[in-house]
A and B are shown apart, each in its own frame.
Chain A
């Protein structure tokens, strides 16, 4: 058994050395900056604050936040979003109310107050900036895809032929 074990150890050592020879992966956040130096931080973009709703890229997309939320407290003690967006506040604030799904628990029962699993708004809803995307994005809207493939089928067409 011993020669085999030695051979295995040698093999591990060799592959480790071979891995070390390969070109280093570049950290996309650091770029080419050497480890010992501080990278120059990218410019901060201003948050969009136009109060104009953006369209949604797909049906289930959580709507984006069209205003600044700087300094908004969102923890177990206070939810600054709900101060305007809660059901009882929208009359005065004219903010967009939460959808009914936010009052449902995971069994689908509608509750009086926001469901705890929906409490932390910024998990899904985020502010927007006019920033250049860090990576290319070839996402296509479903309508664009349908247009390419010759349009959506009518419900009648969708019924499989007998």
Chain B
């Protein structure tokens, strides 16, 4: 085995005897283009909806729920597909997310959520992971389409105007803090901040949240 590796190491180290420098450059360059193209095509394929709902876990649970919501069907026909919200659009973060997604392949192989009951039991954990991610990136995937700068408050209902011009404006909350469960059904929310009075709300670092006066101990 050691001899075998040593032989190939010697071949790799040796400069080419018959190939010209130009041929090597040209071949490497085209091979690089082909590899890069194929890699990105494959990556884009894993971003398609047909790939996501290729497994029954996604098709029968989250996708079935999405179909009822405004992000799937609405009056103007604009819609979001899975990767629009669940995969970052810029390349670096996309690759990072795709590497994390290898954990999901593991889950698929070992059937972590392969029955509706298992999915329900794990729903809170899965949802929490997405909420944490979106809170950390300031709801980037929402903002890919919904730009705060381009919101016309006069076209919003009074309570939406108020919420957006205060909590969103001051960055007290980000989109996902209030708009949970807009695309999929919610898990048991009794352990989620803002949904349970006994759990203190998470505030983004640097954000100002109007502090409630300290209560006198009884």
CB of B163 within 8 Å of the partner chain: yes
The contact string, 1 if C-beta is below 8 Å from chain A, for chain B 35-73, is 000000000000000000000000000000000111000
Report whether A77 and B187 are in contact in the complex, using a CB–CB cutoff of 8 Å: yes
Binary A-proximity of B155-187 (CB < 8 A = 1, otherwise 0): 001110011000100000000001001100111
B-contact bits for A77-102, CB 8 A (1 contact / 0 none): 11110010011110111110000000
Which A residues touch B194, using CB under 8 A? Answer: 83, 89
Partner-contacting stretch, out of A28-36, A67-75, A103-111, A143-151: A67-75
User: Are B197 and A78 closer than 8 Å at their CB atoms?
Assistant: no
Inter-subunit contact A71/B182 (CB<8 Å): yes
Q: Report B84-127 residues with CB < 8 Å from chain A CB.
A: none
Q: Mark B16-28 against chain A: 1 for CB-CB distance below 8 A, else 0.
A: 0000000000000
A interface residues (Cβ-Cβ under 8 A, vs B): 49-51, 67-68, 70-71, 73, 76-80, 83, 86-89, 91-95
| Least CB separation from B159: chain A residue | A51
- Consensus secondary structure, chain B interface: loop
User: Is the Cβ of B159 less than 8 Å from the Cβ of A78?
Assistant: no
Most chain A beta carbons < 10 A, residue from B159, B162, B167: B159
Chain B nearest CB from A121 CB (Å) reads 15
**B212 at the A/B interface (Cβ < 8 Å)?**
yes
Name the contact of B197 in the complex, choosing from A51, A80, A88, A95 (C-beta under 8 A): A88
Decide if the interface of chain A is mainly helix, strand, loop or mixed: loop
A127 to B88 alpha-carbon distance, docked (Å): 37
B186 touches A71 (CB 8 A): no
Report yes or no: A73 in contact with B69, Cβ–Cβ below 8 A: no
Given A73-B186, A89-B194, check contact A80 B181 (CB 8 Å).
yes
Nearest CB to that of B209 among chain A residues? A92
| Pairs across A and B, CB under 8 Å, 7 listed | A50-B157, A50-B158, A71-B182, A77-B186, A77-B189, A83-B195, A94-B162
By a CB distance below 8 angstroms, the chain A residues around B130 are none
Shortest Cβ distance from A107 into chain B, in angstroms? 24
For the complex, what is the distance from the CA of A50 to the CA of B156, rounded to whole Å? 10
Q: What residue of chain A has the Cβ atom nearest to residue B166's Cβ? A: A92
Chain A residues lying within 8 Å of B162, measured Cβ to Cβ, are 94
- Does B202 count as interface, using CB distance less than 8 angstroms? no
Residues of B within 8 A of A68 (CB): 157
Cβ–Cβ < 8 Å partners of B159 in chain A = 51, 67, 93-95
> Chain B residues with Cβ under 8 A from A70's Cβ?
70
Tell whether, in the assembled complex, residue A67 and residue B181 are in contact, meaning their CB atoms are under 8 Å apart: no
Q: Which residues of the partner chain B approach A86 to less than 8 Å between Cβ atoms?
A: 197
Write the chain B residue with the least CB distance to A72: B181
Given contacts A67-B159, A78-B188, A92-B167, contact A73 B212 (CB under 8 A): no
Q: Is B69 a contact partner of A71 (Cβ separation < 8 A)?
A: yes
Docked CA distance A32–B182 (Å)? 40
Residues of B within 8 A of A78 (CB): 181, 186-189, 195
| Residues in A neighbouring B70, C-beta threshold 8 A | 70-71
Task: Give complex CA distance A77, B188 in Å.
Answer: 4
Q: Choose one: A73, A89, A92; the contact of B181 (CB below 8 Å).
A: A73
Q: Give A70 to B69 CA distance when docked, in angstroms.
A: 9
List, in ascending order, chain A residues with CB within 8 A of B186's CB.
73, 77-78
Please give, as numbers and ranges, the residues of chain A lying within 8 Å of B158 by CB-CB distance: 50-51
Give the CA-CA distance A93 to B162 in the complex, in Å: 9
Q: Which chain B residues lie closer than 8 Å to A67 at the CB level? A: 157, 159
